[in-house]
Amino acid sequence: MEDLNNTWGSPTNYKGVLIYPVQMKYNSKFFQYVNCLLFEKNKVPDVKVIKMSYLRFIYELSHSGKEYFIYWRYLTRLLILVFKHKFHFLSDGEKLFIKVKDKILNEQDFDEIRKIICKQNLIVLNEDLLNPEVERAIAEAREFMAKKEVPATTEENIFSFFAATGYEIEKIKNLTIYIFNKTMQRLNLMKTWEVYTYAALRGGESDKIKHWLSHVSERGLYDDVTMTEDDFKQKTSDNMYKK
C-alpha cells in the first residue's frame, strides 16, 4: 500500500511518538540543525566508531571538544522541531535514551528516527562506502556542476511557487518542506512539458517527451553528477550531429 503520510504532511508515528515533517517557515533553521544528522560516521577508520549508534556518535563527538558541542545543540533543537514536545536525554551510565512524554526511545530507535526525519524532509543520507578515488571524482564533478549552474535560493523558489500557483505567501509558510519541493518538482515538469511538446510534435518526436503526469523516481544521492544510459546516448548523438 502506498504511504501518503508525507504527501498529506502528516506526522509519522514511531512507537507511539509522533515525528512531524518540518514546515517551510522553519526551512532555514532545519537545514542548519540537520547537519548533525549528516555525518558519514561509517567512513571513520575506527572500528569503535563504526559500531557506535548514531546517537552515541553525536554525543561522543560533541563532547570531544568545544568546537563540536554545537552539534549536540543542533540535535536538541532539531528534535524539539520534529517532536513538537519537550523531551529529555537520559543515560544509565552505559546507554543513552530519549524520553518523549511517557515513551522511552533507545539508541537503536534513534537510528530509525534519523531516517524518518530525513525521508520526511527529502534529505538523502550518504551511507555508501565508496572507493576513495570514486569519492574524489564525485566531489570534483559536484564542484564543476556548482560553478556551471547556481541553483535558485529559497527566496527565489518561494516566489516562483507563488507566481506559478497564486498560493498565498502565508499558506506557503505552513506547507511542509516535502510538499513544497515535491510540488515545485511537478510544476517544473509540467512547464517543461508545455514548452517542448509543441516543438517535439512538429519534429515527430513526441514519444521522447516525458508527460508531466508521468512517474518521477526519487532523487538518488548521485543524480546530480550522473546520467542515465539514454541521456548519455542522447548527448553523444547530439554532439555527433553538431560536428
What residues pair up with 176 in beta bridges, in sequence order?
A: 23
Q: What would the grid cell of residue 20 be?
A: 512531524
DSSP structure string for 72-107: HHHHHHHHHHHH-S-EEEEE-SS-EEEEETTEEEEH
14: left (phi over 0), alpha (psi -120 to 50) or beta: beta
C-alpha cell at 27: 526551512
Residue 223 confidence (pLDDT) above 90: no
- Model pLDDT, residue 210: 65
**CA angle, 190 then 196 then 197, to 5°:** 80
Instruction: Check residue 117 and give its pLDDT.
Output: 98
Which pLDDT does position 127 carry in this prediction? 60
pLDDT in tens, 164-204: 999 999 999 999 999 999 999 999 888 877 767 766 666 65
* Position with higher pLDDT, 137 vs 37: 37
Please state which of the ranges 17-31, 97-111, 157-171, 219-233 shows the lowest mean pLDDT. Answer: 219-233
Is it the case that residue 20 has pLDDT exceeding 80? yes
Is the pLDDT higher at 144 or at 214?
214
pLDDT tens by residue, 100-136: 999 999 999 999 999 999 999 999 887 654 445 545 5
pLDDT tens-digit map of 49-63: 999 999 999 999 999
SS3 of residue 20 by DSSP: coil
Which pLDDT does position 23 carry in this prediction? 98
Predicted pLDDT at 134: 45
Mean pLDDT of the chain: 82
- Evaluate if residue 144 carries a pLDDT over 70: no
Give the pLDDT confidence score for residue 104 in this predicted structure: 98
